[in-house]
Chain A
Amino acid sequence: MSETRSEAREYAPPVIKAEELDPKFKYKISKMPGAEKIMACFQCGTCTADCPIARFSEFYRPRRIARMVQLGLKDRLLSDKALWLCSACFTCVDHCPQDVEIAGIVRVLRNMAVAEKNVLPLVYKELATNLMKSGFVYEIPETRLQKRVEQGLPPLPKPNVSQVVKIFEVTGSARLLEKVQTVAKVESR
């Protein structure tokens, strides 16, 4: 894989203007469950070195995400499509010497991107729509449900769809989903 590494495009650091920085951003992030330790990141790079996505993507870099949060580059972060490439494998969480939990920070940033920038990859909108319709993220066709029983499995318990919908409503998720603009795919190089 050294090939991909050496071919990687040189990352040209963008000029950062002072007015782009939101000095309060890191404090806001550090109040969110799972992102509390963001200030402890000392940029050792362990997360990027061990991240399976960084291994194959030319620009997904968890360490960079941590630094951008610390700097307060909020708008750049929230509109950066790379945010959607993390597979939530938790390798970075287990390996970070400072207990930073990058995966949790990425999740917080994604939630913010949905709420504040109204962006969401299409696949998640589809899964959410199915879930609100059927209680499961895939709509399981009637033929499948019958086949189960023919194969000797017990009938699938019927979900309580109205309670699921209620949960989407009271957590504000139904409203979020109504206004999101979906993006079909995210490039990795």
Chain B
Amino acid sequence: MSNPKYLLFPGCVIPYRLSSYEISARKVLAKLGVEIVEMPEYNCCGYPMDVINHDLMLTLAARNLCIAEKVGLPIMALCNGCFCSLNETNKILKEDKKLREKINGYLKEVGMEFKGTTEVKHLVYVLSEDVGFEKIKNSVIRPLAGVRVAQHSGCHVLRPRKYVGRDDPENPTTLKELVRLTGAECLDYMDESACCGNPIIGVNEDVPFQMAKEKLEHVRAVGAQALITVCPFCHIMFDLNQPRIERAFNEKFNLPVLHYPQLLGLAMGFSPDELALNELRVKPTELLNLIKF
């Protein structure tokens, strides 16, 4: 079987402030033989514009899809939000002929046409479906025995079920499986599918902070040494904002939050520096002490 090949869609927020996710993702993908092609002239996936005008979101997303169609490769998204808008737009426009005609009317103005010949996948599903658990397991040379973590998949890699249709949103197992392949233990905790709250943080901080605090409490309650995410927005909510949450509620969590490819990368033998672990806000010092380098 030939190696999987994808156009990488880094989105906006990863190049803006979370290079650590992209660096670690590229490292592990290369090692697993996934070929990455840079996506020419891509723009924001459109997700944040859906609140203003649905057609705007669809057209911005569809423009990216048209680029992928022209290159002739599927898209891999690292961000749950990007995956959501690109995947949903792709599916809706493939199904709904009337809407497709409308959006193609807009796209014509930029010399493009949506044909419906590409696919969109999130990193998690590229790993679980294209690379496969077996191959990932075989790539682990430094099993993270004794490491106990919890995962937060995030809503948009699971919901809405009718457009994602892969893992079970009520009891997601894909990321858990992926975590376990590293040799680490993946702990169950309360309300695993609960949202992090980040999407409305620009409008209201109160509710997202309470949501994130509750999640951190649930994760802490089962004794996890780290939380594993696969979305830059979830990561920002739990890592970058953790000190602010701690101050707001006068509580101490000190819970490192790792991008999944950072965890896998450690098990694959990469050094913490190669995986940009030093860029995390909450330093994973104790976690790294558990791993034998």
- Given the interface pairs A53-B207, A87-B199, the reply to whether A171 lies near B38 with Cβ below 8 Å is no
B200 at the A interface (CB under 8 A): yes
* Min CB gap B32→A, angstroms: 18
Q: Mark B79-111, 1 if CB is under 8 A from A, else 0.
A: 000000000000010001001000000100110
Tell me the total A-B contact number using a CB cutoff of 8 A: 186
B59 at the A interface (CB under 8 A): yes
A55–B206 alpha-carbon span in the complex (Å): 12
- Given the interface pairs A89-B159, A148-B19, A177-B52, the reply to whether A94 lies near B43 with Cβ below 8 Å is no
Give the contact-size bracket for chain A: 35 or more
- Given the interface pairs A87-B200, A138-B16, A167-B59, the reply to whether A56 lies near B38 with Cβ below 8 Å is no
A56–B107 alpha-carbon span in the complex (Å): 41
Shortest Cβ distance from A162 into B: residue: B110
A172–B165 alpha-carbon span in the complex (Å): 33
B51 at the A interface (CB under 8 A): yes
A85 at the B interface (CB under 8 A): yes
Tell me which of A11-19, A62-70, A72-80, A123-131 binds B. A123-131
A120–B55 alpha-carbon span in the complex (Å): 17
- Evaluate contact between A124 and B10: CB separation under 8 angstroms: no
Q: Mark A150-189, 1 if CB is under 8 A from B, else 0.
A: 0111101111100110111011110011000000011111
A151–B41 alpha-carbon span in the complex (Å): 22
- Beyond the given A33-B96, A114-B51, A186-B204, could you list 9 further A-B residue pairs with CB under 8 A, ordered by the A residue number? A52-B195, A87-B195, A94-B170, A122-B202, A135-B43, A136-B43, A151-B19, A171-B53, A173-B53
